[in-house]
A = this chain, B = another copy of it.
């Protein structure tokens, strides 16, 4: 008997990563797409196109699951709202089922990243865990008592939109908040603070990169920090400290065993996480201090795609 295979799609704020995944979580074929400022119809078409490419490589797939950066209504698979994509009020699952002749599943992207880390990654064995995915925005997932928490309508766990600076800057995308964790500590925040640092320190590697006309993104800051540029490192330190303060509050609130940090910005590794751990230890309520670990995602930026595949594999389990 051939292994069961599914397609997992992680649709982020600016890009898509998909994969054909076997039931042992081996990834057989990856598909990539970029979008930026795409309209709703284009976005959905790109997703269908990515699924078709993956299916062409593995015609025997049994189902497809999507992680989308949306508040997803659990029962209907509708996207109620998305901070970064024009997916407000889209009956996502119904629409995809009409376009793709396969079972379709959908959940919030960060919930699925958490699912992957719980089943086989950095939160394996935990009954209570928190996941943060740092990318264009910040997604989040909460595991409590062994179950992923979804709130009254499945729209919960928008950990990126807890308020960490009451009088802070306006948040990103369609979020009407101020000083949300996302605007203070996402990959986009690293890019924004990096651009500021580049202007302040024109002779740093970061400053020279800006002077050469490059856009200072989170990825650029991370690259230069790994190469040792002090200006870039101080940006990761600043953002890491904010992240640690935010995590302290979330741990006080949720009492998890472990906090997993993933998403694209997790490429910064300990340059970001060590300052976060330091502020966390300073500020969290003492009983949590020694007990709760802040760990990088085992599956790195692939956690969301693998989690989508796991969702499909678990639904598709033979009776």
Contacts and interface: CB of A to CB of B under 8 A. Distances in A.
A14 B79 CA distance: 46
B166 A71 contact: no
Which of A83, A180, A184, A285 has most B Cβ within 10 Å? A285
A248 B165 CA distance: 12
Contact of A163 (B154, B283, B288): B283
B250 A176 contact: no
Contacts of A180: 249, 252
Contact of A151 (B158, B166, B245, B256): B256
Contacts of A166: 164-165, 168, 184, 242, 245-246
Nearest to A154: B255
B249 A286 contact: no
Interface in A244-271: 245-246, 248-250, 252-257
Given A162-B250, A249-B163, A284 B156 contact: no
B282 A163 contact: no
Number of copies: 2
Contact of A285 (B161, B164, B282, B288): B161
A178 interface: yes
A126 B248 CA distance: 28
A156 B245 contact: no
Given A152-B255, A157-B253, A166-B242, 16 more contacts: A81-B285, A83-B285, A88-B286, A128-B156, A151-B254, A152-B256, A157-B255, A159-B253, A161-B248, A161-B253, A162-B249, A165-B166, A166-B245, A176-B284, A178-B283, A179-B245
